[in-house]
Structure 1
Amino acid sequence: MPQAQPDRGRADPSPEALQEFLTGLAAEIHARADWGKVADYIPELADVELAQFGIAVQLADGSLCHAGASEVGFSIQSISKVFSLACVLGRIGEQIWQRVGREPSGSRFDSILLLELEKGIPRNPFINAGALVVTDELLTGRTPRDALAEIIHFIRAAAGDDAIHIDRAVAMSEQATGDRNRALGNYLKSYGNLKNPVDYTLGTYFHQCAIEMDCLQLARAGRVIAGLPGAPSILAPARARRITALMLTCGHYDESGDFAFRVGLPGKSGVGGGILMVAPGRASIAIWSPGLNATGNSRAGAYAAEKLAEFTGWSVFG
């Protein structure tokens, strides 16, 4: 007997209705002018113009709706952790969970406290310590250039766009100011949970975070996470489900629970102001506004995510 499908409420909006909504949302966000503060601890990000907002939504029927500064490139930062995790799961599968956990942290993304309490096993792959372990695994047995090439190749294939690249200036800026991440790397090394030289892993990680994309590219790349029809077959559905579960529970650091409560969709933020969000089987959403709130997530972006979820009725909770 076929399995009953869950009732997901009202029908999805048409591309035309969604486009009209996004255009109005961009105008509303500019009128609100509640931008937050750019990530000024990374010098290259400190110079980004604050009052910007872009959004793109890739629908299951192939339509791509967008508004605002959706074609302005930005540093994806921690959103890259979604793609590096996808690469590692493809490479070694479930073995990665011997080195990193799957629980929400409730702490800042660069906190060392839990790492000490839990003897060098990061709480999840989306906090910085956990992402360093994932990058270290991807680097093992290869050069940093080869590891970065795998991440870039995956993202380009997912987005169908070979123009996606690393912003070298941002990578160098992070390398020059990355003392907290360097401390995390050395702490992981002291517990035997970093296989490669700390500088190799950190250098690879800084360049990974400096990948530049715009909202259109990111929404297209998210198709493989959302499991949309026509997405490239580069990520097994079972692994996509693992990743979306972690995005929901851990994707916004110590604000993950509040984001899940308000929005109801898996999302991953980055301190460049981006958010990658998915409505599984329905849409891949990219939002960008560089001003951050106190927890390091895009202030206008989080507002937009909540408004989009209200308009569409999309939620993993039915």
Structure 2
Amino acid sequence: MIKTPLFLATETLTLQTILNEIADTMNASTERGTVANYIPELAAVDPNQFGISVALPTGEVFNAGCAQQLFSIQSISKVFSLTLALGKIGDAVWNKVGREPSGDPFNSIVQLEHEHGKPRNPFINAGAIAVVDSIMMGHEPKEVLAEILQFVRYIANDNSVAIDEKVALSELATGHRNASLAHFMASFGRIEHDINKLLGAYYHQCSISMSCEQLAKSGLFLVSDGVNRVTGKQIVSSQRARRINSLMLMCGHYDGSGEFAYRVGLPGKSGVGGGILAIAPGKASIAVWSPGLDTIGNSKLGTLALELLVQRTGWSVF
């Protein structure tokens, strides 16, 4: 593949044209994956939807498909809670979670037993629960959620971002595996807060609802060395932005992270709501959404769409 500048553009071929063509291809697909049926509210989502947004550091945003449709970002929120935790307690985060790929499903308990209750990375469920535990710092769930939501609104530059309460309650009712993970970590002395309160905060964090456009805008600080150039705000240091991107590349798609890096070649974080946030450093923040998942739990069409986008733009980091 020949790499091109920012994006392949001629008088007849623009970034908007590329996105329109990708959306048309995705909408025509008959193999769409399976929605996350273990969470009742997500099981009810129409799988015949696809959206894509590309936000550039200049402030330009290009959309195609259902780019304004709200969806549950689920595990994509783990990027934001990790960023917040790093801002609050710095590298002490790494006393609670590791920085290595898991190689196991996102809700696996196997490695926790072998590694004395320390999750392999902050993007698997156990790791994300531990990160929320580090953010709580003795506060009640409502206070913690207000802080997380305020941060997401800040980086997205959009005060309309909200939590879908129905999805959160749906997860609370069915989250037995996550409760097991939390209790198992607590048995090793790695959880500091009441587990019911901790899980309540975690489920509500995962139930943040955003559109592709909002999500793409929220990732702009990871495009430009920690700075959102649209707002001029320094969110994190350049070193920290690069390290968050590296974790997204290595761990952002659970035991499918290597395959995603091979096919797409960008830092990315998926969620079982069907969304993926991908970062092309120095070039763009990209959000895709299609509710149908592959067997690992990543958006089937979202992954394919990002693969096509990288082929057309040359944005791979490799």
Q: TM bucket by the smaller chain?
A: over 0.9
Q: Deviations over 1:224-260 (max 9, x none)?
A: 1222533532222221111100000000000000000
1:26 Cα deviation from its structure 2 partner: 0.6
Q: 1:234 is matched by which residue type in structure 2?
A: I
Q: 2:103 aligns with which of 96, 101, 106?
A: 106
One-letter amino acid matched to 2:68? E
Q: Deviations over 1:16-37 (max 9, x none)?
A: 7110010111111111222100
Q: Tell me the equivalent position of 2:256.
A: 255
How much does 1:144 deviate?
Answer: 0.9
Offset of 1:289 from its aligned partner? 0.2
Query: Which structure 2 residues correspond to residues 238-277 of structure 1 after superposition, within 5 A?
Result: 238-277=239-278
Task: Structure 2: state its 5+ residue gaps.
Answer: none
Task: Write out aligned runs for 1:37-48 (5 A).
Answer: 37-48=34-45
1:72 maps to 2:72: no
Cα drift, residue 151 of structure 1: 1.1
TM-score normalized by structure 1?
Answer: 0.95
Specify the SS of the correspondent of 1:141: coil
Work out the CA distance in 1 between the residues paired with 2:209 and 2:259. 27
- Find the counterpart in structure 1 of residue 130 from structure 2: 133
- Secondary structure in 1 matching 2:234: coil
Mapped contact 1:265–1:316 kept (Cα < 8 A): yes
Q: Is the 8 A contact 2:163 2:208 kept in 1?
A: yes
**1:42-65 deviations in whole A, cap 9, x for unaligned?**
000010001100000001222100
Secondary structure of 1:32's counterpart equals: coil
Residue 6 of structure 2 corresponds to which residue in structure 1?
12
Q: What's the offset of the Cα at 1:129? A: 0.3
**Which residue matches 2:165?**
168
Return the alpha-carbon distance in structure 2 between the equivalents of residues 63 and 34 of structure 1.
32
Cα distance in 1, alignment partners of residues 275 and 54 from structure 2: 14
Q: CA–CA distance in 2 between the matches of 1:222 and 1:125?
A: 17
Indicate if the aligned counterparts of 1:147 and 1:204 stay in contact, CA closer than 8 A: yes
SS in 1 for 2:35: coil
Q: Which residue in the other structure is 1:55 paired with?
A: 52
Q: How does 1:125-274 map to 2 (within 5 A)?
A: 125-227=122-224, 229-231=229-231, 232-274=233-275
Q: Is the 8 A contact 2:266 2:317 kept in 1?
A: yes
Measured against aligned partners, the alpha-carbon deviations of 1:107-154 in whole angstroms (never above 9, x if no partner) come to 000000000110101000000000000000001221111111111111
Determine the C-alpha separation between the residues in 1 that align with 2:21 and 2:317: 25
Please say if residues 76 and 269 of structure 2, whose CA atoms lie closer than 8 Å, have aligned partners that are also in contact.
Answer: yes
Using the aligned pairs only, state the percent identity: 52
| Alignment-derived partner of residue 26 in structure 2 | 29
Rounded Cα–Cα distance in structure 2 between residues aligned with 1:201 and 1:242: 26
C-alpha distance in 2 between matches for 1:142 and 1:275: 30
Give RMSD over aligned pairs.
1.3
Amino acid at match of 1:31: A
The answer to whether the Cα contact below 8 Å between 2:57 and 2:223 also exists between their aligned partners in 1 is no
Give, in whole Å, the separation in 2 of the partners of 1:142 and 1:238.
29
Which residue number corresponds to residue 288 of structure 2? 287
Deviant stretches of 4+, over 3 Å:
none
Q: Tell me if the contact between 2:84 and 2:148 (Cα under 8 Å) persists in the aligned partners.
A: yes
TM-score for the superposition, normalised by structure 2: 0.95
The C-alpha deviation readout for 1:41-89, integer Å capped at 9, x for no partner, is: 0000010001100000001222100100000000000000000000000
Amino acid paired to 1:129: A
Corresponding letter in the other structure for 1:115: L
